[in-house]
Structure 1
Amino acid sequence: MFTIDDLADRLGGYLPQDEIQQVKRAFYYAEQAHDGQRRRSGEPYVTHPLAVANILANMHMDHQSLMAAMLHDVIEDTGVSKQALGEQFGEAVAELVDGVSKLTQITFEDKAVAQAENFQKMVMAMSRDIRVIIVKLADRLHNMRTLGALRPEKKRRIARETLEIYARVANRLGINTIRVELEDLSFQAIHPMRAERIKRAVASARGHRRSAIRQVQDTLQNSLDEEGMTGSVMGRQKHLLSIYRKMRDQKKSFAEIMDVFGFRIITDDVDSCYRILGMVHNLYKPVPGRFKDYIAIPKANGYQSLHTTLFGSGGMPIEVQIRTREMEAMANNGIAAHWLYKAGQTDHPIAEGSHARARSWIKGLLEMQRHAGDSLEFIEHVKNDLFPDDIYVFTPKGDIMELPQGATVIDFAYSVHTDIGNSCIACRIDRHLAPLSTRLESGQTLEIITAPGARPSLAWLNVVVTAKARSAIRHALKHQQHTEAVQLGRRLLNKALAEFETSLEELPGGPMATLLAELELKSQDALLESIGLGARVAHVAARRLVDLHHGEQLPTAETPHRQGPIVISGAEGMVIKFARCCHPLPGDPVIGHLSVGKGIVVHRTECRNLAELKSDPDKLFALEWSDQADEDFPVPLRLEIESRRGLVAELAGLVTDADANIERIGIEERDARLSIVNLTVSVRNRVHLARIIKRLRNLSHVGKITRLGN
């Protein structure tokens, strides 16, 4: 069994003796704290922190990380407090341990909420010290290695969480060795039979192809030696989950996946990488479009390498990766390489760059956390953000921006800055105007056009793919809805108060403060928002404010006089909506219904749905159209037309000539002679609609025209 002395011997290779002694002291402290505790497998509990520290030692992590690994379960599972750890081992170690510890003092009803809250807590700790996540990844890796003692359903739950969150975090931080093992262990826990079959098939295929692999490897190595270039060639092994995903996603058989030979060439410097690339392209023909230069443009996690695919002898595909030794260390250890180089007291630009990228990513996570409504929404954003980045586009100044596959102009705008995303109205791609929903491709240069009064649209959520954009849009829409709900609530409450011949501005502060205390609301805006969203009735709040102002109830015989209708223009935003049942237009007689969570829903006065709403008259409001209403409103029409060729083109031309747009058109045939056309047109008002209908009636083959709406 692995002991603390074995670990101390390994640490002697890169840590000074006094720091090794501190790690040993942390181990003995943990051993005493966990005394009597055992793991599910029956082993003493302290074997787990020791194994976690050993994983970190493989990555050459610093002594404080190793001490935190020894103590990471002490706060959670024993009676020791964070303060006591700080006094014993210093504040830095205590903060690391606390960051890795779960929230145990709070009881959650739902496992998903508990996981989300714990991850949220860890992100806060990561922002202070990034080593928190490295200790957590090592902890999760050892837990995954020892899943065997758990119940099958618990195994699968932990494995799914590992795959969705921690393996992706390891990938985002460039720690490839941990990512690959986490993915394979998760795959084996979720699909044990599939994993076993692929594992046996890989072993069998490797045996059959050993001579072919050896031949290609020898050819590459001999060519390097003949050209006088330094480099070592090694075979590259695919891991189980990547084989399974390729088989599933690309609909390929196992034989087709394993038919590709993978090799890695490790050399001394960047110049040699490009010279070796020329050599292998001279040796084997390259496959067009399959060369990627991640040295010039590194991946978002700092990964650097040259990738090329070649036609080997007999047309056999050969995948080759070419990189330096430092790039190999970065590919395996990612952000942890920062401490590997620090241990040698020499800063390294690759490791420093990785550290800066990780800090930038965590800064983005904190921004998402501020915008997210709750921990579950935050965790959803994080999952979306953790997919690998594939697209590289340029700002007008030539800076490179990394974005996920399928990203749009809106994603790019938000990646530059949240304010630019919120106010963007158009874009130039390679100097040509393009819509905001355009999907981006690598190599494009983008220039965002903004306008001061512009606001995000709800429809943007259907096209964006980055978590930052989605989170920022939702936050802006919530803020927009809050502002508009407060404004509408103020109008409704003032209208109700006007019936008592007063207003919010005329009332003293005392009655409002008393009412807020009664309703357990924090501010006047909270009351106005709840009125604007239909959660409270303005007339009831107004009556109570007046009662409090006079110190007594108003006489019941007193009937407040009604004020005029609320004026609407159609441009109020998210808290005034137009009913889809009757499609009201400026010029139609309308009435408003206060709907909980939506604000005022506008109906035509003849709408049949109003019958059931009239049972609550306090939620109905007289409305009047503003003279400035100039928005476009959709109206569905039903036309009975004689069937003829070119029908759709003729209708479209006529509607366009009338300065309107067709939003939707559908044709159903009633019989061989007659067709029913369902047409939705966007018009400004009732007069505009009447002009369109008049033009349609002038067509000789058009019969009955009906404006739909109940």
Structure 2
Amino acid sequence: MRQYELVERVRAYDPAADEDRLNRAYVYALKAHGSQTRDNGDPYFSHPVEVAGILTELKLDSASICTALLHDVVEDTAGTLAEIERLFGGEIARLVDGVTKLNRIELQSEHTKAAENFRKLVLAMSEDIRVLLVKLADRLHNMRTLHFIKSDERRRRIARETMDIYAPLAERIGLQRFKDELDDLAFGELNTEARSSILQRMQFLQERGGYLTERIIDRLSRDLMADGLETWVSGRIKTPYSVWRKMQKRNVGFEQLADIMAFRVVVKDVGDCYRALGVLHSRYPTVPGRFKDYISTPKPNGYRSLHTGLIGPEQQRIEVQIRTREMHEYAEFGVAAHWKYKQSGSEGGDGAYHVEGRKFRWIRELLDILEHASNPEEFLEHTKLEMYQDQVFCFTPKGDLIALPRGATPVDFAYAVHSEVGHACVGARVNGRMVPLRTSLQNGDQVDIVTSKAQHPSPDWENFVVTGKAKAAIRRYVRQEQRDQFAALGKEMLERQFRSEGYELTEKGLVGVLKKLKQDSVADLQVAVGQGNLTAREVLVAVYPAAKEAKPGKIVPLVRARRGKRKDGALPLKGLIPGMAVHFAACCHPLPGDRVVGIVTTGKGVTVHTIDCDTLAQFQDQPERWIDLSWSSNAGEEPFTGRLHVVVANEPGSLGALTTVIGKHEANISNLKITNRSLDFFEILIDLEVEDLKHLTHVIAALRATPAISSVERARS
């Protein structure tokens, strides 16, 4: 595209465009890229010009067009951001910086580089959505010329990144045309055979049907005009990727997929949308389950339309989308259409329902994830979760709409409302009924979250939540909680070690050895000790080198360790959260009342075992890993897990008797597994939530007194 052609394109829809700045940007980029060429041998400058041309189709402002012309200057030439700011102003420099990749930063891997680039893009587009529009146009042109790249691996990597990140982003801002083309181009690279097969079948159908699409359009137009409606009807065949996704989702072959044709009916106003729907439903049979009203409940990206499935003219199964002209423009141009409303200052008409262009809710949620993620890869993983999947629409008790991915749970809903609501969630009522927190929500559910100030996120939640925001918030909380507990444990271990050898533990002393022990702060040092990455004695020797000459303690035989009395310096167990700094061994399931001992495990902190656990034999020759533990006075306030091995008669009512006895004694079955079944007996392993050893003993005694139960023993695995 020549310089004057690009300028004329922009002036055709924006007569007030800065023509001089457009010309200067064109010439500057042309000179900067000089003799550079692309993979197909064309001058490199052809790429930014094509990107600018794509943006003129969206009728973007001149600043966006200049950014498209300049977007690769900083990355691929000697040009700098400072020079761009001097020549073209701060606005364009900021936009160019947002699009520019982090090519000058040494990163660990290609995956990390991509994640870091995307992280920067999210930060930039949160300030100005035009950054994303330029980036998507850039990616679209790169995908159109992808076949010129010789490396198969590089082509597939770019295609996968496009399908995973950029196509969903295009959908999120309503650029359905971009989304469809990006998906289809990536699909052609990642699954060439499937796309070719579908294209051949679609071509065969079109040839066999002749002018079928035109005939259906004509019939629908006449039907609607006969009812006095002003309409414009168009039709199209769906993209190969769209057809393939439907085949995968419904698990059907191409022959069984009838609705590969989509027709759009554009009418004057919202009232006519519903009138047109009534006309079509009265004349043609509807396909059950295919009606969607996105006018009363818009999609999260602002898309509005009525969708319905019909057995239409000539007995063809078709999809019909009914919308106003403003809705159609938004469906075609997405946020770019809203940008025009913003530029012109219009707030009326159908443009009024759009959210403010510079700050979308979903971008704010991505920023929230960015804040919580510990590294770029984790951010990329959570972002993919946030952008994917079909939506379900749920409501708060006040009627506010919350859009979530399909399969979302009440915990996802709670975090969508606010992070603090998610953290404090203890239960949920769905349509007035209490449900488990892992329940999948359905379209139209009303969700009421029950909260408690004493609640905190459970590490188990991460196993069933599906939104990136929820996963990121839970993971961050767990990391911080884990770190706090490791730090508290490490501090106590250090105090005990220093005290037992007659030395004083001071913060000044610890600060003095941080560099030697390769730690950044005293808190990091305490965490390292709590995790088992450093021993308390190593720290003692670093602070007081004379302690190295002290004679090591005598190794206590295992039998004597089991029978010996508890020492006064026993470490109390406080704030136990399974899976964190201090956790219970699954081999012996210690309970308050059991005599216990701790084993320091590298990277995991302290594992608590009963004093007679067989596993302890493995650590007999490692006394430095043993920690003397005792139960604190409030140890029984939280439920603990005890495991029983039960033999039950194989007869009607036996399991009922078993569960009744357990329930009457206020214990709770958290897991039950039948390990063996014979003609006469069941052997069952049961995990019970109990207060302490005394509570478990009462349950065992009651079970042994039950006629249907043959034997009960505490399980040791």
Name the CA shift for 1:252/1:88 in 2 (closer, same or farther; >3 Å): same
Distance in 1 between residues matched to 2:551 and 2:675, nearest whole Å:
60
Q: How does 1:270-669 map to 2 (within 5 A)?
A: 270-312=270-312, 316-342=316-342, 344=344, 346-347=346-347, 350-351=350-351, 353-356=354-357, 359-388=360-389, 390-501=391-502, 504=505, 507=506, 509-545=507-543, 547=544, 556=550, 564-568=569-573, 571=576, 574-630=580-636, 631-641=638-648, 643-669=650-676
Equivalent-residue separation in structure 1 for 2:35 and 2:531 (angstroms): 57
Whole-Å separation in 1 of the counterparts to 2:680 and 2:577: 45
- Asked if residue 142 in structure 1 is aligned to residue 141 in structure 2, the reply is yes
Which amino acid letter does the alignment assign opposite residue 604 of structure 2?
K
* Match of residue 40 from structure 1: 39
Are the aligned partners of 1:300 and 1:389 in contact in 2 as well (CA < 8 Å)? no
State which drifts further: 694-703 or 154-163: 694-703
1:124-150 CA distances to partner (integer Å, 9 max, x unpaired)? 211222211110100000000001211
CA deviations over 1:41-89 (Å, ceiling 9, x no partner): 0111100000000000000011111111111111111111111111111
> SS of the residue aligned with 1:426?
strand
Q: Distance in 1 between matches of 2:16 and 2:685?
A: 83
The yes-or-no answer on 1:269 pairing with 2:265 is: no
Q: Is the 8 A contact 1:15 1:343 kept in 2?
A: no
Instruction: Name the CA distance, whole Å, in 2 between partners of 1:258 and 1:641.
Output: 56
Q: What are the Cα deviations for residues 620-668 of structure 1, in whole angstroms up to 9, with x where unaligned? A: 1111123332233333333445543433223222333333233333445
Identity %: 37
CA 217–186 in structure 1, closer or farther in 2 if over 3 Å, else same: same
Give deviations 1:74-128, integer Å, cap 9, x for gaps. Answer: 1111111111111111111112112111111123342111111111111121122
Question: How far apart are residue 260 of structure 1 and its match?
Answer: 5.3
Task: Give secondary structure in 2 for the equivalent of 1:159.
Answer: helix
Secondary structure at 2:687's aligned position in 1? strand
Which structure 2 residues correspond to residues 227-242 of structure 1 after superposition, within 5 A?
A: 227-242=227-242
Q: For the residues of structure 1 that align with 2:444 and 2:114, how far apart are their CA atoms?
A: 39
Residue 106 of structure 1: aligned partner: 105
Whether 2:189 is the aligned partner of 1:181: answer no
Report the RMSD for the aligned CA atoms in angstroms: 2.5
Distance 1:446 1:669 in 2: 42
Q: Which amino acid aligns with 1:601?
A: T
Q: Tell me the secondary structure at the aligned position of residue 227 of structure 1.
A: coil
AA aligned opposite 2:198: I
Match of 1:3 in 2: 2
59-68 vs 310-319, which deviates more?
Answer: 310-319
Native 8 Å contact 1:392 1:400 kept in 2 = yes
Q: Is the 8 A contact 1:389 1:402 kept in 2?
A: no
| Contact 2:382 2:468 survives alignment (8 Å) | yes
| CA deviation after TM superposition for structure 1 residue 563, in Å | 5.1
Determine the C-alpha separation between the residues in 1 that align with 2:98 and 2:260.
43
Note if contact 2:310-2:319 (Cα within 8 Å) is conserved in structure 1.
yes
Cα shift readout 1:385-404 (whole Å, capped 9, x = no counterpart): 11255222222222222112
User: Residues of 2 paired with 1:700 and 1:17: CA distance?
Assistant: 92
Q: Is the 8 A contact 2:658 2:709 kept in 1?
A: no
Counterpart residue identity of residue 112, structure 1 = H
For the 8 Å contact 2:33–2:44, the answer to whether it is kept is yes
In structure 2, the partner of 1:197 is 197
Paired residues of 2:238 and 2:260 also in contact (CA < 8 A): no
* Inter-CA distance 45–347: structure 2 relative to 1 (3 Å threshold): farther
- Structure 2 residue 700 is matched with structure 1 residue 693: yes
Partner secondary structure for residue 237 of structure 2: coil
Asked if the contact 2:237/2:260 (under 8 Å) is kept, the reply is: no
Q: How has the CA–CA distance of structure 1 residues 695 and 42 changed in structure 2, closer, same or farther, with 3 Å as cutoff?
A: same
2:683 to 676, 684, 689: 676
Deviates more, 1:411-420 or 1:629-638: 629-638
Q: Determine the C-alpha separation between the residues in 2 that align with 1:143 and 1:692.
A: 69
In the alignment, is the contact (CA less than 8 A) between 1:588 and 1:686 conserved in 2? Answer: yes
Cα gap change, 1:229 to 1:67, in 2 (>3 Å): same
Normalised by the length of structure 2, the TM-score is: 0.92
Q: In the TM superposition, what is the alpha-carbon distance from 1:555 to its structure 2 partner?
A: 6.8
In the alignment, the residues of structure 2 paired with residue 671 and residue 364 of structure 1 have an alpha-carbon distance, to the nearest angstrom, of: 55
- Aligned mates of 1:190, 1:557 — CA distance in 2: 66
Please state if 1:226 is matched with 2:226. Answer: yes
Match of 2:558 in 1: none
- Summarize deviations over 1:292-337 as a string: whole Å, max 9, x none: 1111111001100011122335754332111111111111111111
Per-residue CA shift, 1:19-58, capped at 9, x if unaligned?
Answer: 1331221111111111111001011110000000000000
Distance of aligned partners of 1:39 and 1:104 in 2 relative to their CA distance in 1, 3 Å threshold: same
Q: Which has the higher mean CA deviation after the structures are superposed, 357-366 or 369-378? A: 357-366
Deviation at 1:343, TM superposition (A): 5.2
> For residues 433 and 659 of structure 2, what CA distance do their matches in structure 1 show?
29
Structure 1: gaps of 5 or more residues: none
Q: Which runs of 5+ in 2 are unaligned?
A: 555-566
Question: CA separation in 2, counterparts of 1:230 and 1:701?
Answer: 78
Contact 1:172 1:386 (C-alpha < 8 Å) held by counterparts: yes
Shift in Å, 1:590: 1.1
Alignment partners' CA distance in 2, 1:632 and 1:18: 69
**What CA distance in whole angstroms lies between the structure 2 residues aligned with 1:674 and 1:401?**
51
Q: Distance in 2 between matches of 1:558 and 1:654?
A: 52
Once the 2 structures are TM-superposed, how far is the Cα of residue 700 of structure 1 from its aligned partner?
5.3
8 Å contact 1:392–1:403 — kept in the other structure? yes
Counterpart contact for 2:285–2:310, Cα < 8 Å: yes
Q: Is the 8 A contact 1:330 1:350 kept in 2?
A: no
Q: Deviations over 1:362-419 (max 9, x none)?
A: 2211110110011111001111111255222222222222112121111111111101
2: distance between equivalents of 1:557 and 1:101? 62
Which residue identity lines up with residue 476 of structure 2 in the other structure?
Answer: H
Checking the alignment, whether the CA contact within 8 Å between 1:235 and 1:264 is kept in structure 2 is yes
1:286 is paired with a residue whose SS is coil
**TM-superposed deviation, 1:675:** 4.3
- Relative distance call for 1:189 and 1:358 in structure 2 (3 A) is farther
**Paired residue type of 2:49:** L
Task: Write the distance in 1 (CA, Å) between the matches of 2:433 and 2:712.
Answer: 43
Determine if contact 1:299/1:389 at 8 Å carries over to the other structure. no
Question: Structure 1 residues 570 and 622 mapped into 2: Cα distance closer, same or farther (>3 Å)?
Answer: same
Superposed CA deviations along residues 328-366 of structure 1, whole A, max 9, x for unmatched, are: 111111111123334555455655625448532222111
SS at match of 2:608: strand
Give the structure 2 partner of residue 53 of structure 1: 52
1-structure distance, mates of 2:130, 2:648: 72
Q: SS of 1:320's equivalent?
A: strand
State the shift of 1:158 in Å: 0.6
- 3-state SS in 2 of match to 1:23: helix
